[in-house]
Every structure is written in structure tokens, then in C-alpha cells.
Amino acid sequence: MEQMISAAALGLLEGLTEFIPVSSTGHLLLAGHFLGFESAGKTFEVVIQLGAVLAILTLYFARLWRVVTTLHSDPASLRFAISVLLAFFPAVVIGVLAHDFIKTVLFETPMLIAVMLIIGGVILLFVDRMAPTPQHHDAMQIPFRKALAIGFIQCLAMVPGVSRSGSTIVGALMLGVDKRAAAEFSFFLSMPTMLGAFTYDMYKNRDVLDFSALSEIAVGFVLAFVTGLIVVRWVLDYVSRHGFALFGWWRIIVGSVALGFLLLGF
């Protein structure tokens, strides 16, 4: 029962944090550390991310289907597809080259995660206030060179605690994308990035994956999916009105609390 409760909590945490700039991976790793929850081959952590991926695919299916079916006839659809692929490309190269170091060193360093949460929170607060005047207001019309730049900035999130959505949003804001479009482009970019990471993780861990605790995996998967749906629907309207300061303070508080407990030996 204790493992099931931990699985439910982690699934809920994944869905709540995957699409906001607070680092879902950092939250999951810290929560797993303090709860003493660890699955063989990281099967649980890998599979519940797919729940969040399916949430974003579900919400954007109609728009994505329209893009796919008009690639051959609509220059705007082709341009959007190319911009997302350009932004995705750096993560493919760097992710493959650095995968083992990231998983075996960075993911096993809770102190680093807590510190990165705090630093990222400070940066997010600063950029939320000081970002240049927006020049781009549509996530589907970001110029190629800026999409590629956002893709390189996204790679900073390979350090757990940085946040994939946080790095892409900060990068987009500094490149003149408005707050709503920055969040939405982060959503679009999350689909190939997360699917790619999921597929590569499954491949790399194929010999040690353990699906014996299927009930725990199922609970975490479903909760990640449902909460992901709710968060994505809410976050665009929220950031349009209020910006990202809430998430900056969230990061600083969570990181500081985690750092305090770690320094006390927990």
C-alpha cells in the first residue's frame, strides 16, 4: 500500500509539473529520494512520462492533424513543422551523446537538483520582468533561427532541476516571443522531445526494465495523464494574465526546502 501511495503521488506530481517551468524531473527525483521510492531500471519514472506526453497530444490532436494533412499544400503548416524539428534537433544530438552521464551522475545528485531549482527560479523571476518587448505572438510562426536557438537552450534542461519547459520559455521570452506563445511553443516542442526521450530510455534500459509492479505503473500513468490535461488547459490562460512569477517563487521555495533537508542529512 505504501508503494501504491508513493506511485500515485509521483504520477500526480509528474502531471502537475511537466508543462510548467518548475522541472518535473527535478521534482520526481527529489520526491523519490525523500519517499524512498525507486523502481528497477527506472521503469516507473520512464513510463509515467508517457502519460504526460499523451495528455498534450490529446489536447493538440486536432491542430496537429491539420498541420500533418496540409503539409503538402499549406506553407504555414510546413514552416511550423520545420521550426519544431529544428528546435528538437539539438536535444537529439546532445541527449544521445550525454545520456549515460546524465542518467548515472546528474540524476543521482539531489543536492545539484535543489540548487538548480533555486537558480532557475531566480532567473525566471528576472526574465519575467525584464524580457524584451515581444515581436512574435503566434507559437506557430516563430522564425527558424529563433526556433533553433530555443532548441539549444532547451538542452540546458538535461541537468535535472533546470526544467525543459522553463529553459524553452526563458529562451523564447529573451528572443522576443510573448508569454502565451512561449508557453505554447514549449508544449509543441515537448511532444517530439519527450517521445524521443521515452523511446531512447526504453531502448537503453531494455535489459533491466521491470514491469512486475504494473498496478503502480498504471496508477502513476493515469494520474500523470489526467493532471497533465488539466494543467495544460489552465496554464496558457494563467501566464497570459499573470506571467511566470508564481513558478519562479515555487522553484525557489521547493529548492530551498529540499536543500535544507539534504543538508540535515535526510
| Beta partners for residue 177, in sequence order | 136
| Beta partners for residue 136, in sequence order | 177
Give the closest residue to 152 by CA, choosing from 79, 81, 88: 88
- Average pLDDT over every residue of 167-193: 93
Query: What pLDDT does residue 212 have?
Result: 61
**99-150: pLDDT as tens digits:** 778 777 776 688 999 999 999 999 999 999 988 999 999 999 999 999 999 9
Q: Please state, in angstroms and rounded to a whole number, the distance separating the CA atoms of residues 19 and 11.
A: 14
- Average pLDDT over every residue of 83-92: 94
More confident residue, 191 or 199: 191
Give start and end residues of each alpha helix (H) in 163-213: 164-174, 179-204
**Mean per-residue pLDDT of the chain:** 87
Give the closest residue to 66 by CA, choosing from 81, 52, 84: 81
Q: Looking at 45-54, 98-107, 145-154, 176-185, which range is the least confident one?
A: 98-107
pTM attached to this predicted model: 0.87
Return the amino acid letter for 1.
M
Cβ atoms of 231 and 27 within 8 Å: the answer is no
